[in-house]
Amino acid sequence: MPYIGRSLGDGVRARYIYAATSGQTTFSGNDANGIALAYSDTLYMDVYQNGVLLKPVTDYASTTGTSVVLTTGASTDDVVEMIVYDSFAVADTVSAANGGTFSGNMAMGGSLGVTGAATLSSTLAVTDDANFDSGTLFVDASANRVGIGTTSPSQLLSIVDTNARMEVLSAVGGTSIIDIGTTSDADAASVRYASGTGAMSFRANGDERLLINSSGSACVGIASEVRNANDLGVSVESAGRIYLGRGAASGAFAHLVFINSNGTVGSVTTSGSTTAFNQSSDYRLKENVDYTWDATTRLKQLKPARFNFIADPDTTVDGFLAHEAATVCPESVTGTKDEVEVWNDGEELPDGISVGDNKLDEDGNTIPVMQGIDQSKLVPLLVKTIQELEARITALEAG
């Protein structure tokens, strides 16, 4: 007889066949072969009517262990058949084309193909390989590995696809976390995304080590060190450092290259045991070159001074005040005198704040943007002044 709805395999305990009478609903006692129907809760049973698999509860009830009651009465000469399997052990394939609920334990020695929905309310014990959704999920029980998109997982969990990706989603405002650790310290390290702030953090040894905030700023060590969008800060207690190495090679190498829309504008290079801080100086980048300008007059306008920094009162140094040097050699100075931080376009503005408003610290004070000076920019002025002095001395000696 053909069977619709189930592929019969091995493990059949018993098979009962009844020829129905008109309107018959209850089937019990001896079947057509003189064998009395008997089954228990530990056995798994399929019921067929004229070769079509019936649905439990909907199409029939089986409660006593010795009878099956159809919901709708059979017709004369309908063939009603009960097939009882050995427990839940299925050596072939069990397919749940319209969804299925397994409320007990399932010990599976072959493969389980799920094309609809399957609810496992107790324990699923896989003693061999298991395929879900035509190989989408593969369990290699012998090697204790799970494969998604592959039937040959090489690790405990392998995800293989043209565009392999994994989602870890929290509720809106929550935090998505991937923990990495040991059996005794499950969250020793982790990757976290806080959807409320839009920040991504990486933790090691229980503490946050790297933070990338919603503005694209990144900080290694202390997140508060980074204020502006797309900045990178490094502050690890009192010994924050950035190491840039080129292995064992000792030739000329660029460790840092600075680029803007005009191309490369500077670099930091090493060669042997020396370091060079370079800025663009190729003649092909320049025009209106003039060698006859007056350096001595400008040099006299500089105001070299001795001072100490407020943060280091015991150390006196030589130098310049940035805003004073800017009047003589503006290219040597960065920033503007008395500048403070303001809110810029593209930043997430607090309520009542507009672009261009001053930013305030926790005490309500403006946040200064300090000027800086590159004293190497004064070298051409010094060299030109020496040349002018040399020319005057030579003229005097000749007279």
Cβ(200)–Cβ(212) below 8 Å = yes
Q: Which residue has the tokens 């015991």?
A: 314
Q: CA–CA separation, 337 vs 360, rounded Å?
A: 18
Q: Which residue has the tokens 């002018």?
A: 388
Q: CA–CA separation, 180 vs 185, rounded Å?
A: 9
Cβ(355)–Cβ(343) below 8 Å = yes
Q: CA–CA separation, 353 vs 319, rounded Å?
A: 39
Sequential DSSP letters for 72-86? SPPPTT-EEEEEEES
Q: CA–CA separation, 207 vs 188, rounded Å?
A: 8
Burial of 176 (C-beta count, 10 Å sphere; 0-12/13-18/19+): middle
Q: Cα-flanking dihedrals φ and ψ of residue 124, to 5°?
A: -105, 110
Q: CA–CA separation, 18 vs 80, rounded Å?
A: 5
pLDDT tens for each residue of the chain, 399 residues long: 556 655 555 567 788 999 999 999 999 999 988 989 988 866 778 899 998 988 888 899 876 788 999 999 899 989 999 988 765 444 344 444 455 555 555 655 555 666 555 666 556 666 566 666 555 788 887 778 888 888 888 999 999 988 888 899 999 999 999 999 998 999 899 999 999 989 899 999 888 888 888 888 888 876 566 666 777 777 766 666 778 887 766 778 888 999 999 999 999 999 888 999 999 999 999 999 999 999 999 999 999 999 999 999 999 999 999 999 999 999 999 999 999 999 988 888 899 999 999 999 989 999 999 999 999 999 999 999 999 999 999 999 997
Listed residue (314, 310, 333, 313) closest to 323, CA to CA: 333
- 3-state class (DSSP) for residue 393: helix
